[in-house]
Structure 1
Amino acid sequence: MSDTGANQDDEPISSEHRPVACWLTDMDGVLVHEQRAIPGAAEFIAALQRSGLRFLVLTNNSIFTARDLRARLLASGIDVPEDCIWTSALATAQFLAEQSPGASVYVIGETGLTTALHEAGFVMTETDPDYVVLGETRTYSFEAITKAIRYLERGSRFIATNPDATGPSAEGSLPATGSVAALITRATGLEPYYVGKPNPLMMRSALNRIHAHSETTVMVGDRMDTDVIAGIEAGLRTFLVLTGSTSVERISRFPYRPSQIVDSVADLVDLVERWAPS
């Protein structure tokens, strides 16, 4: 286990005074990398399931439904129940349902987002929508972006699933939601409201979904600028794993620290078992 720089001793965060009842964990960079399981990830999820502790796998990816992601994880050897997956698309649909139930929306995105909005009761339209909702897609259309810009100019409100500027692929980085949102913002002068990480709203919606309390929940992530800061702002203890985006050398550049740094989720299996209800 790596030296944390965040705690005074070498022991993991004690559960004696702050028991752990729930776990939140990011997906890409923590459990999988390019659809391949990270060593220890399957064992970590299996330990969570054995423990009786409530947990959710979180992702800013809005392309896929929870069912799709379950299948993709299972193909990697990681067995996560569908109802234990929470995406930025689901969080966005829930947020809009609370803010403006029954509103009309124009959507740039794929099945994960359109399905979430449809199941939340929204009407998708190309006639003066109440909202333009932007999510991730691998087939961004100039025509669709132009429509979005014109709707926003006529008064539609702007929502985006997450601010990630790029996403991973086997060939290298791909432009993601944040990059397209920046294009639309430059054209309209309008900033979207981002629902996904690092917005603590995403964390709060996840906590509510599993009836968790921030004081007894931990967040596991690989990115300081999304996972860790979102966890901190939501009042959670945070574990940073070094299998994803943030290297040890970069950690000191941030003005905040995770509660603990570990090499990978493999280092957390013993903690899950230690913190499981007796």
Structure 2
Amino acid sequence: MINESGWNFLMDMDGVLVREEHLIPGADTLIGELRDNQIPFMVLTNNSIYTPRDLRARLLRTGLDIPEESIWTSALATAGFLEQQRPGGSAYVVGESGLTTALHDIGYVLTDRDPDYVVLGETRTYSFEAITRAIRLVENGARFIATNPDEKGPSREGSLPATGAVAALIERATGHAPYYVGKPNPLMMRSALRVLGAHSEQTLMIGDRMDTDVRAGLESGLRTILVLSGISDEATADRFPYRPTTIVDSIADLVGHTTDPFDGKSSSH
């Protein structure tokens, strides 16, 4: 079956498809509809902890069947960026397997001896020793890259410091700001579009955050849909100087509208 809609879908994961390991109602139906109609889609996440294989397993546990090749992480986008900038380079990594695997796959050497880059990603085990090493390497000339600017993330116990918060610590200590690859940098969106083989004019971005998802989509020339099932609500959205193309309560409102997502139920509030 040919994609008759002409649309390609990019969508955030947390707050759009799942919330704290639980399926957001309607997400499985929408993904099934996209797959049945052969509508190209990619699930994006700024979380660099996990590989696409890990994330596929996590999503399967919630009831979502998403192929590895349809998952795009800030770690993959960062690896792609570094491969273009300095092929066969070296990096000191503060992060988890999602990031180290992505860098290994492009042929990077991971080292703490005079690396080309210090690459900071998400981790649940930040150590003072690793951060101190990163600071000294940046001071000595290593270029500073961070996978994403998110300052905090959710957990069952409350907020957790995320990549942006630790990057701020290193920046304050060294005077060197990192280059962030993940959302809202349009670089991540464009790299996902290349993998998908899609053009921005025929692609929409579905997200739950105005400051990352909607902004990244807007700056990449995509039409955007804000869902109210995650971080941003209508009052929050109204405070930003830009607007999404449309706002819906949740991804369930797009079920049955994948061929024309801006029609019917998916019209703006």
Report if TM-score (shorter chain) is over 0.5.
Answer: yes
Q: 2:246 aligns with which of 240, 246, 260?
A: 260
| 2:217 match | 231
Q: 1:169-201 CA deviation, whole Å, 9 max, x = no partner? A: 111110000000000000000000000000000
Contact 2:16 2:251 in 1 (8 A): yes
For 1:90, give the aligned amino acid.
Answer: L
Q: How far is 1:103 from its partner?
A: 0.8
Distance 1:256-1:20 versus aligned 2 partners, 3 A rule: farther
Contact 1:20 1:218 in 2 (8 A): no
| 2:265 match | none
| 1:56 match | 42
Q: 1:86-126 CA deviation, whole Å, 9 max, x = no partner? A: 00000000000010011110000000000000001100001
For 2:16, give the aligned amino acid.
Answer: V
Q: Distance in 2 between matches of 1:51 and 1:81?
A: 16
| 1:196 match | 182
| 1:93 match | 79
- Provide the secondary structure at the position in 2 that maps to 1:272: coil
Which one scores higher on RCO, CA 8 angstroms, separation ≥ 6? 1
| 1:27 match | 13
Q: Distance in 1 between matches of 2:134 and 2:11?
A: 33
Q: Distance in 1 between matches of 2:34 and 2:136?
A: 47
Please report the RMSD computed on the Cα atoms of aligned residues, expressed in angstroms: 1.1
| 1:75 match | 61
For 1:103, give the aligned amino acid.
Answer: G
1:85-164 correspondence runs (5 A) = 85-164=71-150
Q: Distance in 2 between matches of 1:45 and 1:168?
A: 24
Q: How far is 1:24 from its partner?
A: 0.2
Unpaired segments of 5 or more residues in structure 2?
262-269
Contact 2:6 2:259 in 1 (8 A): no
For 1:110, give the aligned amino acid.
Answer: E
TM-score, normalised via structure 2 length: 0.94
Q: How far is 1:274 from its partner?
A: 4.8
Q: Distance in 1 between matches of 2:10 and 2:240?
A: 22
Q: Distance in 1 between matches of 2:237 and 2:123?
A: 30
| 1:249 match | 235
Q: Distance in 1 between matches of 2:6 and 2:156?
A: 36
Q: How far is 1:82 from its partner?
A: 0.7
Q: Distance in 2 between matches of 1:221 and 1:197?
A: 11
The number of residues matched between the two structures is 258
Q: Distance in 1 between matches of 2:248 and 2:164?
A: 29
Q: How far is 1:51 from its partner?
A: 1.3
Question: How high is the sequence identity, in percent, across the aligned residues?
Answer: 67
- Provide the secondary structure at the position in 1 that maps to 2:257: helix
Q: 2:169 aligns with which of 179, 183, 195?
A: 183
Instruction: List structure 1 runs of 4+ shifted beyond 4 angstroms.
Output: none
Q: 2:25 aligns with which of 34, 39, 45?
A: 39
- Provide the secondary structure at the position in 1 that maps to 2:197: coil
| 1:8 match | none
Q: 1:127-148 CA deviation, whole Å, 9 max, x = no partner? A: 0111000000000000000000
Q: Distance in 2 between matches of 1:195 and 1:75?
A: 29
Contact 1:47 1:273 in 2 (8 A): no
Q: How far is 1:20 from its partner?
A: 3.6
Contact 2:205 2:223 in 1 (8 A): yes
